[in-house]
Structure 1
């Protein structure tokens, strides 16, 4: 057993153009004629001020779920908008303040959701995430700590807070939103890919370990979508460049010039609702049939062959070991 121990989202104009050019192809992730019924599901989502999180909160509540939409820095207009929407449409949707980088806020926010729900959450969606652009060398410790704290430690904190009640009930689902860039890399994406690679590994390990507790983990791997993460990443990247030292920036003149030219809009003309729709369909699947990974994008999904070979290696390496039942359960083998 000792062996066991063993997007920048501001990509180049060419990369962004390639994403946009594929936006009109196969629509396999679009919503189906009969939307999944999420009635009776208690779902907590992080990062609901905008983007995928905001869309999930609205969509899941309209499908009958009890939704806990979380965001940081309350009070804020986005929270008021969600509360007004819930009131007008009579949705079971509540806003709770959670900053995923704050241990105490994570613990108290999850506890409040469990109190309101009268028990464990059915679904946790770790959606909150951030990005900065640029070569790895210019990523200072301030940027690096913030990205790992948000994109990796944040989902870890949230899972640790929600899992005791889920395990006691012997059921639950956790969705971790990573990226295509958690399996493939493009130069100049800063610490985004490293954090998403780490979240992929954390998620897969949890998926195996939670098999005995009947808790399933699914990794959502979106491609490029036009959400606010692009503009947010641009602002953070410009601040990073402003404080960067010349001894680090001097080796990347062309890449940094491109960073300063690229605007805050990206992701092409794809429909961000693909992600909430994919998650809703997986929530509604029978237990034991849900996938470990779900690539989501109407265009190319370069991570698919990587996912396939990794599953094959895991099964060949550990499928007949004492860990075999966990490995085979996750990979449906």
Structure 2
């Protein structure tokens, strides 16, 4: 078992994250891509970012991919379909709004029909960000981000777990963030939602051991995706309806609300699908609970190690020990 990092090491890791320059953030040459032939993957939030590049990447590796997004018809769906058709990929686009029980039920039913009744891999990628201090986050913003980032994942899990349990196999990937383990002031409730994703995913991983289903939490760092555009729209609207006195009280954190552009980030968004495909290709029972993804510093890794040590020390010798050890050993 690895040694527990000191408090000094944890702080140093977090400090190094902010000190890393863009020039150091270019990914290393990726390993040979695995074959995903025979897999059926459903991924949410494929209109842009990790979801879009991932859908094409997995299909390019031989998987049947059901790429979902909300608000169909939309141009992003048309261009994704055209690109898939050009490459003769087995990719199907289905409408799912993860904030809607009705949409999730209808979309997953259609996806299962396309897949012949069996989806072996679920990638919960859909998510949003809304920045600003906690006091500035009104209930409209709070409900929206939790409904998307946390309840959206739960809706998808509830929809697809029954057929995975029936098959006694399956994989779930939940996209978290570095900010699911570390916190940046002014980040709104993004960390709060991602901390919730981390906890829910880990609990689920333990509970699914007897069913042969594995859960991996993906923890990306900052990447230059369209998330910045979408986040600015939500954050800008929040700022517009916020009380001026409250905004002024937190001036260092509210000044730039709705204007962040992700500049200085040059890492390749394809890092995330590559990491997911690599985990998919690992032997059953050997896949990690968590995978940090970024060519720069990963301050969450120290916390991941400590968390695993604590879980093993606390519950490893109890009646729950076999579940805990199956996930962490």
TM-score of the two chains, using structure 2 as the length reference: 0.92
Contact 1:177 1:221 in 2 (8 A): yes
Q: For 2:65 and 2:275, locate their aligned partners in 1 and report how far apart those are by CA, in whole Å.
A: 17
Q: Does 2:68 align with 1:70?
A: yes
- Aligned counterparts, 1:248-327, within 5 A: 248-259=246-257, 262-266=259-263, 268-327=265-324
Q: For 2:69 and 2:313, locate their aligned partners in 1 and report how far apart those are by CA, in whole Å.
A: 41
Contact 1:282 1:290 in 2 (8 A): yes
Contact 1:21 1:268 in 2 (8 A): no
Cα RMSD (Å): 1.6
The answer for the alignment partner of 1:9 in structure 2 is none
Over residues 230-289 of structure 1, what are the superposed CA-to-partner deviations in whole Å (9 max), with x where a residue is unaligned? 1111121111010001343231122212336x4323461111110000000001111000
The answer for the alignment partner of 2:24 in structure 1 is 24
Q: Does 2:165 align with 1:167?
A: yes
Q: Secondary structure at the match of 1:244?
A: coil
Contact 1:19 1:299 in 2 (8 A): no
Q: 1:86: how far off? A: 2.2
Q: Secondary structure at the match of 2:24?
A: coil
Task: Note closer, same or farther for the CA distance 1:266–1:161 as it changes in structure 2 (3 Å cut).
Answer: farther
- Aligned counterparts, 1:104-183, within 5 A: 104-183=102-181
Q: Secondary structure at the match of 2:250?
A: helix
Q: Secondary structure at the match of 1:131?
A: coil
TM-score of the two chains, using structure 1 as the length reference: 0.91
Choose from 194, 197, 203 the match for 1:196: 194
Task: Name the count of aligned residue pairs.
Answer: 314
Choose from 217, 232, 235 the match for 1:234: 232
Task: Note closer, same or farther for the CA distance 1:19–1:93 as it changes in structure 2 (3 Å cut).
Answer: farther
Q: Give structure 2 stretches of 5+ with no counterpart.
A: 1-14
Q: For 1:148 and 1:77, locate their aligned partners in 2 and report how far apart those are by CA, in whole Å.
A: 27
